[in-house]
Chains A and B, each alone.
Chain A
Amino acid sequence: MTTLSDPPKEQFRLSMLLYDTRYRSATIQVIAMLGFMLLAAWLINNTAQNLAALGKPIDFGFFTEPASYDINQRLIDYTSQDSHLRASIVGLLNTLVVAVLGCVTATILGVIIGVLRLSKNWLVSRLMAVYVEMFRNVPVLLWIVFIMAIMIETLPSPRDFRGDDAEASMSLFDTVAVTNRGVYIPDVLFGHRDPETDEFTSWRTGLGDFPVGASESNPACASYFASEGPFAGRPGEGCGTFQISLDLMVILIVLGAGIYGARAIANRADRIQEATGDRPTTWYLRLGVIAVPLIITLWVLGFHLGYPELRGFNFSGGTHLRNSLIALWLALSLYTAAFIAENVRAGILAISQGQTEAASALGLRPNRTMNLVILPQALRVIIPPLISQYLNLTKNSSLAIAVGYMDLTGTLGGITLNQTGRELECLLLLMLIYLIVSLLISGVMNWYNESVKLKER
């Protein structure tokens, strides 16, 4: 430093910690830190003492013990002999399923309702206002139990479908069964009809599942390893940590390739248009590139639908959307949609009138004005509150416990906690997982928000 004269060197005095703003902030921080650490130490000390008195030291060992309870909706293989850890994962997946479904539906509903609330049609806008107020001002827990009660009380039970003059019948050409246990829809199966037995054999030409994490020591996987060739033996159920449907993988690959091809054709058309000014008609080519290989693949794999049918006590076959899932999904999306609708409305109102007028001056029709001019701009206003609505929906999904949907709170924070009596471990883990999920959602959405934000110079 080449200062002309050194500033007079100040003697550091203790009182400067209090009066000098340069040091005072450090003093405050040290005091705050000490206070915080004292509080933390006090809490931890209390906890340790209490746990010692109860004779329950912190121990996560119970996670590897068999859970010995069943879960009705499981996205990965699970039996009551699997560990508490796996049961928690099943629960976490269920939470994610209902959260994702709810967010998607709530967004769609919310945008529609928010736009309709500004409709010129008086009746429609009033109706939407009533909807929004009705859902916003009644607790979501009440809506969940209410919708569950409606489903249970008004829909027919499977036994009403029985007999020749049954009280209820399946809808949509006998493919969908709507019962008070849930909705049974056809599911997608792969396999060819065996000409001799006239039955579908799913293993004949469908590729089946590839077990991830299979090992020879697992008896269910024994046949998989015993035979020769990669697909000679088929793994039994419960083989591997989880299974990936090879059929689905193949279809996704073919679909991806088709879309890539279609885009290549479109790019070529763009180039021709730029060069010559004429755009060749390519939509049928693009459609063909996507559709034809896909249809051929589906045919080769033996694609067919498995229809639900009444067998014994329940419908079997098809995919069972349980009423607990539907009630939770509906209630969460209807409730959150009311809030999103208000955000959408506020976002649209925030766009200046001049934009609408300019669009009209360009000759755009009202709904194209909305789609092309207003909504894209309103989106930037809508996204930040939308993030917190998504977070709220995900957190509210923990109310699944009220309708017996086995989400993370129902498994890890419910039955596992009850059966093992490990409140501290279960609840800490439960909160940690929710925290991570919340942070992930807000991280992803904030990233999206950054990417659509108006780049101001």
Chain B
Amino acid sequence: MSDTHANTVAYVRETMLPQVAPPASSTGPVGWARENLFSGWFNTVVTVISLAIIAWILIGIVPWILSPTWGATSLSECREILTAAGSVGEHGTSGACWGVIRERWVQLLFGFYPSDLYWRPILSFVLMGVALAPVLFADRVPSQLIWFSAAFPFIFPWLLWGGTIWGPLAVAAGFVIGYYVFRILGAATSNLIGLVVGVLAAVIWWLFLSGYVVDALASVLPLGIEEVPSRNFGGFMLSITIGVVAIACSLPLGIVLALGRQSDLMIVKYICIGFIEFIRGVPLITLLFVASTLLNIFMPPGTNFDIILRVLIMVTLFAAAYMAEVVRGGLAALPKGQYEGADSLGLDYWQAQRLVIMPQALKISIPGIVSTFIGVFKDTTLVSIIGLLDPLGLSNAIRADSNWNGIVWELYGFIAVVFFIFCFSMSRYSMYLERKLRTGHK
């Protein structure tokens, strides 16, 4: 109390107290803990229970993981090592047997791909990162890179499957032919005729001509790398290949389906709706059964193609239906003014789509596309049910090996961790993108 105002009322303070630091209990780690963990009896109880659960899980798992069995060459050797180390529980030895991962991790990643050619899948996945860069990190890479992105869909299968380089070139030539037919005829007559004839020309090239041209070119100038049959694909490489190819092929298909579903043309609209709802209404596993048992029946007699190609076709159709819905969401999210603006500039339907609508709609749908990709990538595990050797299928084959008969957790754990790393990083990326795009729009 101040002495200078002796006549003032005792309970009225007239001077400011000096500022003091907040009490120790409300700053620093203690304060943080009080605020976030122990604010009230209920929160305290919840915190203690959570801590107990975490401790219980860790006590159960950590000693099992820390098991000195990295060098073992069979399950029985693991058991010997564990018995020697003294970690013996009620039901025999307790502890992981990591030897199986040491021996088989390469197989789980690459399947039966020839080991001297591992650089090819690695290179193609690295190049995929480069090719995706213009889309994913548009602001940080030179824009010329987009040409590489356009070429990549032809480089990717060539690197993975090998063979003569004329094959992918012939496929690319089909697009070029179709495009020029469209341009020339479209200018001479109408866009519609140009489009129809262009597509027909490309199809005729692919179906009837390219085979002979490729054979001829390959015999004249045999440029190529060693062929790897798709039977040898396996493990995570197979999963990623299926996921990437399915998403890449389903994107154009999905855009067409989404546009068809939005369009005013009744027949086109109902065909698209029917397709989308049918695919989305049945489980993927039934489509895979179709791939493994029926697809050959639907094709002309005598055609026969690889199970992996059949799976790719069905997974692509599956992904396309989901992609169409994602793109439709992007289209719906665009303000109506954009459509009207494009119309008022006198753009026709395709020009408006190409120059105004699609660039924006696709940008909005990138997070959705990424999550569709994550979904498809996770769903590739289903191919183990039809006998393909994806990571889960390989784990069954490894468990049939007499050395590793009886292994369960290590393989599942390894596969789960790898899947988690892939999917988690992708979902983080898509969240980052979502944030970035949101600030761009508001």
Contact = CB atoms under 8 A, between A and B. Distances in A.
Complex A–B touching at CB under 8 A: yes
Interface of A: 18-19, 24-25, 27-29, 31-33, 36, 43, 46-47, 49-51, 53-54, 119-124, 127, 133-134, 136-142, 145-146, 149, 153, 391, 395-396, 398-399, 401-402, 409, 413, 423-424, 427, 430-431, 434-435, 438-439
B405 interface: no
A49 B392 CA distance: 37
Interface stretch (B95-103, B219-227, B259-267): B259-267
Contacts of B189: 18
A305 B385 CA distance: 41
26 contacts: A18-B189, A28-B265, A32-B268, A36-B267, A46-B299, A49-B300, A121-B43, A123-B37, A123-B47, A127-B50, A136-B423, A137-B420, A138-B378, A139-B378, A139-B379, A141-B392, A391-B281, A396-B283, A399-B385, A401-B285, A424-B297, A427-B293, A431-B282, A434-B283, A438-B281, A439-B277
A29 B190 contact: no
Given A141-B392, A142-B416, A434-B286, A31 B297 contact: no
Contacts of B43: 120-121
Residue of B268, B297, B298 most packed against chain A (CB within 10 A): B297
Contacts of B300: 46, 49
Interface string B375-404: 000110110110000001000000000000
Residue of A391, A398, A434, A439 most packed against chain B (CB within 10 A): A398
Interface in B262-289: 264-268, 271, 277-278, 280-286, 289
Contacts of B293: 423, 427
A119 B40 CA distance: 13
B55 interface: no
A431 B283 CA distance: 8
Nearest to B421: A137
B283 A149 contact: no
Contacts of B381: 139, 141-142
Nearest to B48: A123
Contacts of B280: 391, 438
A141 B294 CA distance: 24
A157 B264 CA distance: 63
B294 A434 contact: no
B305 to A, nearest CB: 14
B416 A24 contact: no
A119 B283 CA distance: 36
Contacts of A120: 36, 39, 43
Contacts of B265: 25, 28-29, 32
B409 A149 contact: yes
A149 B408 contact: yes
Nearest to B50: A123
A409 B289 CA distance: 10
B136 to A, nearest CB: 19
Residue of B39, B280, B415 most packed against chain A (CB within 10 A): B280
Contact of B283 (A19, A395, A402): A395
Given A137-B419, A139-B379, A438-B280, A29 B266 contact: yes
A43 B282 contact: no
Given A149-B409, A434-B281, A124 B46 contact: yes
A9 B12 CA distance: 98
A287 B415 CA distance: 54
A43 B298 contact: yes
A396 B375 CA distance: 12
B50 A136 contact: no
B271 A36 contact: yes
Interface string B89-110: 0000000000000000000000
B421 to A, nearest CB: 8
A124 B47 contact: yes
Given A138-B416, A434-B286, A47 B298 contact: yes
A311 B21 CA distance: 73
Contact of A430 (B36, B190, B286, B412): B286
Contacts of A53: 301
Contacts of B54: 127
A27 B283 CA distance: 36
Interface in B309-324: none
Nearest to A43: B298
B51 interface: yes
Contacts of B297: 46-47, 50-51, 54, 423-424
B184 interface: no
A384 B378 CA distance: 23
Contacts of B284: 395
B399 to A, nearest CB: 11
Contact of B286 (A36, A136, A398): A398
A454 to B, nearest CB: 19
B220 to A, nearest CB: 35
B378 to A, nearest CB: 4
Contacts of A434: 281-283, 286
A409 B277 CA distance: 20
A153 B37 contact: no
Contact of B192 (A18, A139, A145, A396): A18
Interface string B19-58: 0000000000000000011010001001100110110000
B196 interface: yes
B286 A431 contact: yes
Given A25-B264, A427-B294, A31 B196 contact: yes
Nearest to A17: B192
A54 B293 CA distance: 13
Contacts of B264: 25
A3 to B, nearest CB: 28
A436 B50 CA distance: 43
B190 A50 contact: no
A138 B289 CA distance: 23
A123 B190 contact: no
Contacts of B427: 133, 136-137
A398 B415 CA distance: 22
A146 B416 contact: yes
A424 B294 CA distance: 7
A226 B382 CA distance: 53
* Closest A-B pairs by Cβ, 3 of them: A137-B423, A122-B36, A438-B281
B239 to A, nearest CB: 9
Given A43-B298, A46-B300, A409-B283, 14 more contacts: A18-B190, A27-B192, A36-B267, A53-B301, A120-B39, A127-B54, A137-B419, A137-B424, A138-B423, A141-B392, A142-B415, A395-B283, A398-B286, A399-B385
A275 to B, nearest CB: 42
A427 B36 contact: no
Contacts of B193: 18
Contacts of B51: 123
A18 B197 CA distance: 14
Interface in B223-269: 264-268
B87 interface: no
B217 interface: no
Contacts of A438: 280-282
B161 to A, nearest CB: 25
Contacts of A43: 298
Contacts of B290: 427, 431
A137 B375 CA distance: 9
B296 interface: yes
Contacts of A153: 408
Contacts of B277: 439
A49 B289 CA distance: 21
Nearest to B266: A29
B53 to A, nearest CB: 8
